[in-house]
Amino acid sequence: MRKAIIEEAVSMFKKAGFKNVTPYENSTGPGLGIHEMGGARMGSNTKTSVVDRNNSLHDVKNVFVTDGAFMTSASCVNPSLTYMAFTARAANFAAQAFKNQNFS
C-alpha cells in the first residue's frame, strides 16, 4: 500500500508541474504512523452504532469507550486532543450519573 501511495504522490506532483520529484520511504513499525479508529461507532441507533452520545455502550451499562474506536474517521491531524475532550466529557457524565445514582 505504501508503494502505491508513493507512486500516486509522485504522479500527482509531476502532473502539477513539479520537477525533479524524488520519492523516499521512511518505514516505521505497525501502528506507529496511524490512528486506528472506527470499531465502536457513536450514534443513537443501536442497530448501527455501539456507543451513545456520552460514549457509553448501548448494551452494557457503565462501560465507556473514549479511544479512537468511537470516531469513524479523522482528518489529517493527530486526534489525541479530541480523544481527551471526549474522555473528559464521558468522565463528567459518569460522575454525575454516580452522584445522582442514575446508572441507566
Question: pLDDT, tens digit, for every residue of 29-55?
Answer: 766 667 778 889 999 999 999 999 999
In a domain, residue 57? The reply is: yes
Give the number of other Cβ atoms within 10 Å of residue 74's Cβ: 15
| Cβ atoms 94, 62 nearer than 8 A | yes
Question: pLDDT, tens digit, for every residue of 52-95?
Answer: 999 999 999 789 999 989 998 877 778 888 889 999 999 999 99
Residues 81 and 87: their CA atoms lie apart, in Å, by 10
In a domain, residue 94? The reply is: yes
pLDDT at 104 over 60: no
* pLDDT value, residue 27: 73
- Domain with 95, as residue range(s), is 34-104
| Cβ atoms 37, 31 nearer than 8 A | no
In a domain, residue 18? The reply is: no
What percent of the chain clears pLDDT 70, i.e. is strictly above it?
Answer: 93
In a domain, residue 65? The reply is: yes
Q: Where in 1-104 does DSSP place strands (E)?
A: none
Residues 97 and 54: their CA atoms lie apart, in Å, by 11
Position 50: which residue type? V
Q: Compute the residue count for the chain.
A: 104
How many structural domains compose the chain?
1
In a domain, residue 38? The reply is: yes
Residue 103 banded pLDDT, cuts 50, 70, 90: low
In a domain, residue 45? The reply is: yes
